[in-house]
Chains A and B, each alone.
Chain A
């Protein structure tokens, strides 16, 4: 039996960060992971998808290389090598996580955990059953892909994002069911790798919940490169014929049939709580099954904490990590709490979409008199010189005092640009603060400064509206 101050179930970006912090704070810590350290993010999500997306973007750039005077011929994607490299990236990160945990003297237990009580976890490892007795329990089991009836994932023809990242080649014809963040990343990526893309989305826009003006840029680009996008549509039937399938889709204009080689289902995820014994423990969940906590990550049962995806949307690695830190600090007796104002989000489709804080609609709903100011990347030197003039930065501010309420970006490096704004909002910055901060030239972040200058009534590189 292992005795510990803290047992963490799940070694994803929530759990492993919690483990490091807890161990740093002097708590004896056991981290239990059934699969691989790093969880969904490192192994089947963020990291592998970004590896593939990087290559897909490069391959795509090369296609129009001649436009820039770059002669490149015979360029093709070697999927075997690509997957090998992707694997190396993952391994490096996984061993890095292990090194950190061990370096801080946290114990790693590889095996499936079964929570027996708030202070007892049984772990089935390769060597047999191991019992962990703990003073605090952290649930960080994340989520798993959910599928739709009639569209069950078979791992071959009908796949989830996990299999999608392990493909040995780009499917000739790929149908993406669900036009959310994951669906769009795969659609953009495989389009660049040569697939013909069909997207089926049940809502009336891609990336439901995002502003339409941003989504439109991505939508148009996908369509411009030959994708068929069916909104307010759903898959009715899948007829598998060998290695391909005929998919019947109900669209607002009637039923259609689409022949595909792969169907990637990205219709959402559900909490992974089967082995946690939540009803017996008395841990409260919301109607969707996500574990409820207070801002200190404490569940309805003292001594049991929950962090990351298993507590519910937004399902984001960086949110999980911060929650892991909060939980660890609370367990160590520190007055920590989740008191961030905003959680930035980024979608790595093409062009990238990133947002933080309130959208215009949400800001109006919250009672602000809102100012909206945009700056187009087409007017930015750096974007033109990079050959990426699509998209814009949109700054939402409070008219009365210029407080930055939110920023949405669609365009090059949007995922990197958003952090500046997240900081601005956390610091309570105004559009003046951003406008008056010198941004180096020529860089993409200048677009944020320009939009802020516009919001402050002093646009330079655009005409006053």
Chain B
């Protein structure tokens, strides 16, 4: 018998996914639970295991195709019965047997206006064109309309029209290249824009003296290595954040516009913005207040690794209450990070370098850095944010205080 492998429900709010990579070809024997396909959703890339043991009969969604949840993406012969025609075993419906006259009539204007290629795309995505509202002139249905319909998005101006203009048909050589706005990139683009358009963002920058923290990290490095983890500054910063977030609860909140409430969160889930080939993803370290720096370091390492391999699960990228973005390794003085809505604040960490600092009326060489805190002014005022930042820096600079937090 054939088994129709449908794109499973990957998680809350995920309606479709782009087939990134098939790990089996037509004719291959596959084993239940072996990694079979890598899907890029708008939230995260996931690997889906084979649902059955058997032989791959057909691959119905090619790499690069966008499949809807529930759409048949592969047909597997699980060897449990007789041979079946490879085609989708839908018997022809007698009601649909068309008269030949129906076949060679031009469609009336009020019916579907779509090019042959668009019509084929609709068939591939299982879209009934008569239900699609065309965005083109005179209601022409475009490929984008079909894709949008298939993804269940409301009809409206295409977000994909934001992509680079199509090259002119004349003029030699490619001077531009079209890269479809898809998956992670598309999500980033939508979210960043939405964040900027729906919040009132301000960035507050302050300087921190990291000299003692640099020493502290050195001191802990050895024991971290014994536990098999690489200790960066981030676990320390997270630890410095916790008392500050507790003291300034509005920084660890979100604004529920619908109910008109500010939701103060008594849990501390810190998103770590992570640079990957696909683009920025933000895995979340949960309940940081209950973990020591080694646990944090280990978890961050694992999550970052999974992010780069596009193996994060949906649970690992949601539920954040505050985000850290660290571009210190790359360079730069400070930045104006964009708040990861619906959170209300994000902390940018930057390069730590030896700089001249005035201490007790003397110029000294110290390890310093800048912290950039972007916040939503609808929820937090400048003075509140500045006080929060001072509290964080105070802890970072005061090793004794920090020590009580880190372990």
Q: Which residues of A contact B (CB under 8 A)?
A: 5, 26-27, 135-136, 284, 286, 290, 292-296, 298-300, 302-303, 311-314, 330-333, 335-343, 357-358, 362-363, 366-368, 398, 400-401, 403, 405-406, 425-428, 430
Q: Is B153 an interface residue (CB 8 A)?
A: no
- B116 near A426 (CB under 8 angstroms)? yes
Bound CA–CA A332/B88 (angstroms): 9
Residues of A within 8 A of B104 (CB): 314, 342-343
Interface magnitude class on chain B: 35 or more
State in angstroms the CA–CA spacing of A284 and B93 once bound together.
12
Structural contact, B60 and A333, CB atoms closer than 8 A: yes
Q: Do B92 and A312 touch across chains, with their CB atoms under 8 A apart?
A: no
Sorted from nearest, which 5 A-B pairs have the closest CB atoms? Answer: A333-B58, A428-B113, A298-B92, A294-B92, A357-B106
Could you jot down 15 A-B contacts, CB within 8 Å? A135-B84, A135-B86, A284-B94, A293-B97, A294-B98, A302-B91, A330-B87, A333-B58, A333-B86, A335-B60, A368-B108, A398-B109, A426-B115, A428-B113, A430-B138
Q: Which residues of A contact B116 (CB under 8 A)?
A: 339-340, 426-427
Q: Please classify the interface of chain A as helix (H, G, I), strand (E, B), loop, or mixed, using the class held by over half of its residues.
A: loop
Known: A362-B105, A366-B105, A401-B109. A333 touches B100 (CB 8 A): no
Listed stretches B47-55, B119-127, B322-330, B337-345; interface member: B119-127
Q: Report how far A313 CA is from B98 CA in the complex, Å.
A: 12
Q: Which A residue sits closest to B138, measured CB to CB?
A: A401
Residues B109 and A368 in contact, CB atoms below 8 Å apart? yes
Report if B85 contacts A (CB, 8 A). yes
Residues of A within 8 A of B103 (CB): 295, 338, 340, 343
Instruction: Please give the distance in Å from A136's CB to the nearest CB on chain B.
Output: 5
Taking a contact as CB atoms under 8 Å apart, the answer to whether A335 and B124 are in contact is yes
B87 touches A292 (CB 8 A): no
With both chains docked as a complex, state the minimum distance between the C-beta of B266 and any C-beta of chain A, in angstroms: 51
| B140 at the binding interface (Cβ < 8 Å) | yes
Give Cα distance in the complex from A340 to B96, angstroms: 16
In the complex, the answer to whether B58 meets A300 with C-beta atoms within 8 Å is no
Looking across the interface, which residue of chain A has its beta carbon closest to that of B115? A427
Contacts of A300 in B (CB 8 A): 92, 94, 97
Residues of chain B touching chain A, judged by Cβ–Cβ distance below 8 Å, are 26, 57-58, 60, 75, 83-89, 91-94, 96-100, 103-109, 113-116, 119-120, 123-124, 126, 138, 140
Contact partner of A331 (CB less than 8 A), chosen from B60, B85, B108, B109, is B85
Q: How far is the CB of B91 from chain A (nearest CB, A)?
A: 5
Q: Which residue of the partner chain A has the closest CB to B126? A: A335
* A30 vs chain B, min Cβ distance (A): 15
In the complex, what residues of B have CB within 8 A of residue A5's CB? 86
Contacts of B105 in A (CB 8 A): 341-342, 358, 362, 366
Q: When chains A and B are docked, how far (Å) is the Cα of A341 from the Cα of B106?
A: 5
CA distance A303 to B89 in the complex (A): 9
Q: Which residue of B lies closest to A294 (CB)?
A: B92
Besides the known contacts A335-B124, A358-B105, 15 further A-B residue pairs in the complex with CB atoms under 8 A apart: A135-B84, A136-B85, A300-B94, A314-B104, A341-B106, A358-B106, A366-B105, A368-B109, A400-B109, A405-B109, A406-B106, A425-B106, A426-B115, A428-B113, A428-B114
Partner of A302, one of B89, B99, B106, B138: B89
Q: How far is the CB of B145 from chain A (nearest CB, A)?
A: 13
**A403 touching B109 in the complex, CB below 8 Å, given contacts A339-B123, A343-B104:** yes
> Which of B85, B96, B98 is within 8 Å of A135, CB to CB?
B85
Task: Name A330's closest neighbour in chain B (CB-CB).
Answer: B87
What's the least CB distance linking A283 to chain B, in Å?
11
* A-B pair number, CB within 8 angstroms: 108
Residues of B within 8 A of A341 (CB): 105-107
Complex: A106 Cα to B392 Cα, angstroms: 74
Determine the residue in chain B with the shortest Cβ distance to A363.
B106
Alpha-carbon distance A299/B96, docked complex (angstroms): 11
Whole-angstrom distance between the Cβ of A165 and the nearest chain B Cβ: 27
CA distance A23 to B373 in the complex (A): 62
The closest CB in chain B to the CB of A119 belongs to B83
B361 to chain A, nearest CB (A): 78
Residues of A within 8 A of B26 (CB): 26
B100 and A294 contact, CB distance less than 8 A:
no
Closest to B125 in A: A335
- Are B123 and A332 in contact, with the CB atoms below 8 A? no
Taken together as a complex, chains A and B put the C-alpha atoms of A256 and B87 apart, in Å, by 59
Measured CA separation A296–B98 after assembly (Å): 10
| CB nearest neighbor in A for B58 | A333
Given known contacts A284-B97, A332-B58, A340-B116, A293 and B109 CB-to-CB distance under 8 angstroms: no
Complex: A363 Cα to B85 Cα, angstroms: 41
Select one of A299, A333, A403 contacting B138, CB under 8 A: A403
Contacts of B123 in A (CB 8 A): 335-337, 339
Whether A314 pairs with B98 at a CB distance below 8 angstroms is: no
CA distance A314 to B100 in the complex (A): 7
A residues less than 8 Å from B91 (CB atoms): 298, 302
Chain A residue nearest to B57 (CB atoms) is A333
Which of chain B's residues have a CB closer than 8 A to the CB of A357? 106
> Is A331 a contact of B87 with CB atoms below 8 Å?
yes
Say yes or no: A296 contacts B92, CB within 8 Å.
yes
Given contacts A284-B94, A299-B92, contact A332 B109 (CB under 8 A): no
Cβ–Cβ < 8 Å partners of A27 in chain B: 86
Nearest residue in B to A405 (C-beta to C-beta)?
A: B106
- Shortest CB–CB separation between residue B269 and chain A, in angstroms? 43
- List residues of chain A with CB within 8 A of the CB of B93: 294
CB neighbours (8 Å) of B126 from chain A are 335
| Chain A, Cβ-Cβ closest to B141 | A428
Q: Is the CB of B115 within 8 A of A292?
A: no
User: Whose C-beta in chain B lies nearest to the C-beta of A137?
Assistant: B85
A290 contacts which chain B residues (CB < 8 A)? 100
**CB of B5, distance to nearest CB on chain A (Å):** 13
Known: A333-B58, A342-B104, A400-B109. A294 touches B86 (CB 8 A): no
Least CB distance from B66 to A in Å reads: 14
Rounded to whole angstroms, the CA-CA distance of A303 and B83 in the bound complex is 12
Q: Which one of A295, A336, A358, A363 contacts B98 once the chains associate, using CB atoms below 8 Å?
A: A295
| Cα A19 to Cα B26 with chains together (Å) | 20
* Docked pose: A337 CA to B124 CA in angstroms: 10
Distance between Cα atoms of A358 and B109 in the complex (Å) = 12
Residue of A nearest to B106 (CB): A357
User: Which of B92, B120, B124 is most buried by chain A, counting CB atoms within 10 A of its CB?
Assistant: B92
A303: chain B residues within 8 A (beta carbon): 85
Task: Give the residues in chain A near B87, CB-CB below 8 Å.
Answer: 136, 330-333
The distance in angstroms between the C-alpha atoms of A362 and B105, with both chains bound, is 9
Contact of B106 among A293, A294, A342 (CB under 8 A): A342
Would you give the shortest CB distance from A149 to chain B, in whole angstroms? 26
A332 close to B92 (CB less than 8 A): no
**Alpha-carbon separation in the docked complex, A401 to B113 (Å):** 12
